[in-house]
Structures are given as structure tokens and as C-alpha cells.
Structure 1
């Protein structure tokens, strides 16, 4: 059975691609993006397989 680990990542609207690319390089897969605590921020939920 596959096991996963999860992380939440704050995203700045003006740097979303760069932030997601950096996490993707480390093997994290984007699951969902939701609004953050203010209008300039989003929160990404990400997962990757546990070793």
C-alpha cells in the first residue's frame, strides 16, 4: 500500500510558478490551492510518496 506525506505551502500571487517549481523539483505534487488569510496569498496542499 502506498503511503504519502503532505505539506501546506504559502504561495505569493506574484511568485506562484517559481514556488511550485521549487517544490516540484523535490518530488512534491500539487493537490489543491485554496485562498490564504489575505488577498495576496494562496495556500497549496502538496503530497509525495514516502520512501
Structure 2
């Protein structure tokens, strides 16, 4: 059974692609993007298999 680790990442509007590309190259998969807690920014939720389970 695969177990996952998760990360939440604040997204800077002018650098969204670069931020997601960097996390993606580290093996993270984008799950969802939602408005930030203040309603102005965005937060990305990412996941990847725990080490040794890829």
C-alpha cells in the first residue's frame, strides 16, 4: 500500500509556473490549488509517495 507525504505551498502569482515546476521536479504532484487564508493569495496542495515507495 502506498503511503503519501503532503506539502502546502503558498504561490506567488507572478512565479506560479516556476514554483510548481520546481516542486514537480522534486517528485511532488499537484493535488489542488485553493485561495489562501486571507482570500488574496493561492495555496497549492501537493503529494508524493513516501521515500522507498515510488
Question: Same fold, TM exceeding 0.5?
Answer: yes
Q: Which runs of 5+ in 2 are unaligned?
A: none
Matches within 5 A, 1:13-32: 13-32=13-32
Which of these two proteins has the greater Rg computed from alpha carbons? 2
After the TM superposition, which segments of 4 or more aligned residues of structure 1 sit over 3 Å from their partners? none
- TM value normalised by structure 1: 0.91
User: Aligned equivalents of 2:43 and 2:27: distance in 1?
Assistant: 18
- TM value normalised by structure 2: 0.86
Q: Which runs of 5+ in 1 are unaligned?
A: none
